């Protein structure tokens, strides 16, 4: 199953809002097929796994066990049901990590396979699977994007100097942030960050997709020659419409930032954006924390002091540490929101 998860992760950033799914076919302790869901709208993991079986191994398929990180689909979506494929290939045994919360599937896939005599084992490494696909599970069950708050702070707890762009993180961490962006559907910054930093919010230090940029500009303060108003990638501006021709930029006139947050989250989910990464600044991060509108915090802790500046937000009491690791001179700490308080 861990191999399924590793394969699934290869689809990161390419399949959203679909889940990342991996499948492995095993005959007598030997892997004879592997596959993953590679791109939204294209073949599912099970299809790619069966396609990968070499001609000399095809006769083993009806005597093999299929491991799949997600319950095989039951519905006719953009591709035919994987359940039917498993039955056509007469695969006698199936092991899955998670049932598919998609109402079109939700247990029906496993039921159909069991009824046809397939030996089904479910909930194997279920927690790991839930964490792997936390964006998808959030989007499909809560109709909300999974919200990640990301900030970098100095050793003495500052986000940056007041009123000036202040590099806090190391080059390696910046690359990591670009990787995170490429795995995220949308990135948000507030007006102050947009005005002070003139960020691009792109993925120039990593490969992969360019996420939707979202910015609060409630009083129209962002200079019109700034990157976020360059119409180079899909951008949502919560603020007054600007003069000029915009093709990839949409404006949502909105004067109150705290009112804008819920409607923005709703709008993201409706447009198939399953994740949002909030990259600052202090005010926007605090609004998400105060509204308990967050699921995960990614904190980049640098080892140098700034002496003064904008204080970083305090970690909320319901933040549970998940993992931490070093990168250059930074330490990355990941927290998730406790669901019990």
Say whether residue 19 binds ligand AOF (CB under 6 A): yes
Question: Residue 155: CB partners within 8 Å, gap ≥ 6?
Answer: 301, 302, 303, 304, 305
> Cα(337)–Cα(322) distance, rounded to whole angstroms?
10
> Binding string to ligand AOF for residues 20 to 59, with x set by CB under 6 A, is what?
-x---------------x------xxx-------------
Least Å from the CB of residue 44 to ligand AOF: 3
Say whether residue 134 binds ligand AOF (CB under 6 A): no
For 15-137, where are the E strands, in sequence order?
22-27, 30-36, 65-70, 93-98, 119-121
Bridge-based pairing of strands 186-189 and 330-337 is unpaired
Least Å from the CB of residue 119 to ligand AOF: 18
DSSP state letter for 245: -
Nearest residue (CB) to ligand AOF, 69 versus 153: 69
> Cα(251)–Cα(114) distance, rounded to whole angstroms?
50
The phi, psi pair for 332, rounded to 5°, reads: -100, 130
> Cα(71)–Cα(99) distance, rounded to whole angstroms?
5
Say whether residue 108 binds ligand AOF (CB under 6 A): no
Say whether residue 65 binds ligand AOF (CB under 6 A): no
Nearest residue (CB) to ligand AOF, 77 versus 208: 77
| Site for Zn ion, residues 46 to 105, rule: CB under 5 A | 73, 82
Least Å from the CB of residue 125 to Zn ion: 20
Indicate which residue of 46, 71, 183, 279 is catalytic. Answer: 46
- Concerning whether 71 is annotated as a catalytic residue, the answer is no
Among 38, 57, 79, 192, binds ligand AOF (CB under 6 A): 79
Nearest residue (CB) to ligand AOF, 96 versus 194: 96
Least Å from the CB of residue 123 to ligand AOF: 17
Return the one option of Zn ion, ligand AOF, none that residue 70 interacts with (CB less than 5 to 8 A, by type). ligand AOF
Return the one option of Zn ion, ligand AOF, none that residue 21 interacts with (CB less than 5 to 8 A, by type). ligand AOF
Total residues at the site for ligand AOF (CB under 6 A)?
17
Question: How many helices (DSSP H) and strands (DSSP E) are in the chain?
Answer: 10, 16
Nearest residue (CB) to Zn ion, 84 versus 230: 84
Residue with tokens 């079986």: 53
Question: Residue 72: CB partners within 8 Å, gap ≥ 6?
Answer: 44, 46, 81, 82, 83, 85, 86, 94, 96, 109, 110, 113
Reading the block at residue 333, the tokens are 């700490």
Among 9, 77, 157, 206, binds ligand AOF (CB under 6 A): 77
Say whether residue 110 binds Zn ion (CB under 5 A): no
Sheet (strand 93-98) strand order: 30-36, 22-27, 65-70, 93-98, 119-121
Least Å from the CB of residue 154 to Zn ion: 47
The 10 Å Cβ neighbour count of residue 90 is: 13
The 10 Å Cβ neighbour count of residue 84 is: 14
Summarize as ranges the residues that interact with Zn ion (CB under 5 A): 44, 73, 82
Where do contacts with ligand AOF occur on this chain (CB under 6 A)?
Answer: 18-19, 21, 37, 44-46, 70, 72-73, 77-79, 82, 100, 102, 105
Which residues are marked as active site?
Answer: 46
């Amino acid at each position: 199953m861990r191999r399924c998860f590793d394969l699934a992760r290869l689809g990161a950033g390419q399949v959203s809002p679909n889940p990342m799914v991996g499948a492995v076919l095993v005959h007598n302790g030997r892997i004879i097929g592997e596959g993953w869901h590679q791109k939204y709208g294209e073949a599912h993991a099970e299809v790619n796994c069966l396609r990968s079986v070499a001609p000399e191994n095809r006769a083993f398929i009806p005597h093999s066990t299929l491991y799949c990180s997600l319950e095989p689909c039951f519905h006719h979506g953009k591709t035919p049901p994987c359940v039917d494929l498993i039955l056509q290939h007469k695969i006698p045994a199936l092991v899955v990590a998670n049932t598919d919360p998609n109402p079109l599937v939700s247990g029906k896939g496993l039921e159909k396979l069991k009824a046809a005599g397939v030996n089904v084992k479910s909930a194997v490494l279920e927690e790991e699977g839930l964490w792997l696909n936390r964006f998808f599970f959030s989007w499909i069950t809560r109709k909300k994007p999974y919200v990640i708050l990301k900030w970098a702070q100095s050793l003495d707890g500052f986000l940056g100097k007041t009123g000036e762009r202040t590099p806090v993180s190391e080059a390696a961490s910046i690359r990591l942030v670009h990787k995170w962006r490429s795995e995220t559907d949308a990135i948000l910054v507030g007006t102050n960050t947009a005005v002070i930093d003139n960020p691009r919010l792109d993925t120039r230090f990593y490969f992969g997709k360019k996420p939707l940029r979202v910015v609060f500009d409630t009083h129209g303060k962002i200079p019109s020659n700034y990157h976020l108003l360059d119409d180079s990638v899909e951008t949502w501006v919560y603020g007054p419409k600007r003069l000029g021709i915009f093709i990839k930029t949409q404006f949502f006139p909105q004067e109150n930032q705290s009112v804008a947050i819920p409607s923005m989250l709703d709008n993201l989910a409706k447009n198939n954006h399953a994740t949002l990464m909030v990259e600052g600044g202090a005010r926007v991060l605090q609004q998400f924390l105060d509204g308990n509108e967050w699921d995960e915090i990614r904190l980049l802790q640098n080892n140098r002091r700034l002496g003064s500046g904008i204080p970083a937000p305090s970690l909320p009491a319901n933040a549970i540490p998940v993992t931490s690791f070093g990168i250059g001179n930074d330490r990355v700490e990941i927290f998730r929101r406790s669901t019990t308080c």
